[in-house]
Amino acid sequence: MTDFYTTIVRPILFSGLKADPEWLHHQTLHTLHWLDAEAPSGIRDGLMQWMQTLYAVADPRFQQTLWNCSFSNPIGLAAGFDKDGMATGVWPAFGFGFAEVGTVTAQAQPGNPQPRLFRLMDDWAALNRMGFNNQGASRLARRLSQHRARPAQFPIGINLGKSKVTPLEEAAQDYLTSFQQLKMLGDYFVVNVSSPNTPGLRSLQSIDQLEPIFAALQQENRDRKPLLVKIAPDLADDDVRAVVDLAQQYELAGMIATNTTIRRDGLKTQVLAATGKPIQEEAGGISGAPVKDRSTEVIRLIYQHTQGRLPIIGVGGIFTAEDAWEKITAGASLLQVYTGWIYEGPGMVKRVLQGLGHKLDQAGLGSIADAVGLAHRTD
């Protein structure tokens, strides 16, 4: 299946002759939604079992419990792929250990003008300026409430963002509104203040603006749902430490490192083929290989600063088992993929997990939890 995807399917999908990446993304999601929510049970069950055989790995060494949630393996689907929770019951069949839906905002919004999603194939990357396009928190709440039951041991995270029309000074109430509607439907929640595609959003990473958001959410969070914050790779190290300190002060459950980058240095792509404009002039965040090293640096920094006491979800530039191992040994307990999954195909999770199994064997470790932060113990 790996060779078929990379040699046949990917060249067709990436050729640019059929449709833009966002159209293909929507078609994929609608198909998976049909399978998850509308297909006759016999067809659904048969296809899901077939997919599990192709893509899933059952290895007790990968099991972890974090925040009272059981994770069958550390590889999750990152936020942004299934913004509106269209296919939450299908993701386990692709081998994922968890999935994060959203980013969702208090108000439904169309996002930024199209086209807004581009592949940078020479860089194994993507450029997006989606702008939190989603159907809103109330619609997501209804869908998650009515969805077919997912496997009991498959955690779903919910990524919360600020509505574009909401002024920055009212951001805390905006996040709170979404959380109030969704708090009983997610296994963990993420405060996303690091997307570059909502005007002013990244300024919310400053301590004086971030503190009211944490305060409002934790005051509402009587059931102590795990609350994490997702930060940008472009933050200076001192600013990362400041956010970590604030997260610990407000008893957040963890950090997600990192979001997309606004940096353009080191790219092979100089002109965006779809627009004909220099890449330096194109707005949006870049994901994939260009963010890999910095996201790992941020993971390492957080782990060192907290002495490993604050769980980290690592995301950014994961394509192979080696990429995943670097982030885990740097300090990430869990990982998320998006761009790498698009480039490598649906068999990617299985290949990465099999590779991680080999890494555990080579290191003489009995579980993936034993590998978390390993680089700090062997430096």
The whole-angstrom separation of Cα 337 and Cα 327 is 12
Q: List, in order, residues 6 or more apart from 301 with CB less than 8 Å away.
A: 237, 240, 241
List the CATH number of the domain containing 125.
3.20.20.70
pLDDT > 70? residue 6: no
pLDDT band of 257, cuts 50, 70, 90: very high
pLDDT > 80? residue 19: no
pLDDT > 50? residue 78: yes
CA distances from residue 161 to 103, 128, 233 in whole angstroms, order as listed: 6, 16, 17
The whole-angstrom separation of Cα 60 and Cα 10 is 32
Residues 98-124 have pLDDT tens digits of 999 989 999 999 999 989 999 999 999
Average pLDDT, rounded, for the chain: 91
Residue 92: cis peptide before it, omega within 30 degrees of 0: no
Q: Which of 163, 178, 194, 195 is catalytic?
A: 195
pLDDT band of 16, cuts 50, 70, 90: low
Residues 321-347 have pLDDT tens digits of 999 999 999 999 999 999 999 999 999
pLDDT band of 3, cuts 50, 70, 90: low
What pLDDT score does 1 carry? 42
The structural domain count of the chain equals: 1
pLDDT > 70? residue 258: yes
Which whole number is the average pLDDT over 276-300? 95
What pLDDT score does 15 carry? 59
Residues 174-224 have pLDDT tens digits of 999 999 999 999 999 999 987 776 767 777 778 888 999 999 999 999 999
- Give the global pTM: 0.92
DSSP 374: H
Q: By CB neighbour count within 10 A (0-12 exposed, 13-18 middle, 19+ buried), where does 113 fall?
A: exposed
Q: Is 194 a catalytic residue?
A: no
What pLDDT score does 202 carry? 76
The β-bridge relationship of strands 64-66 and 69-71 is antiparallel
Segments forming the whole domain that contains residue 363: 2-378
Alpha helical stretches, state H, 34-117:
41-55
pLDDT band of 8, cuts 50, 70, 90: very low
Which whole number is the average pLDDT over 36-62? 92
Q: List, in order, residues 6 or more apart from 65 with CB less than 8 Å away.
A: 71
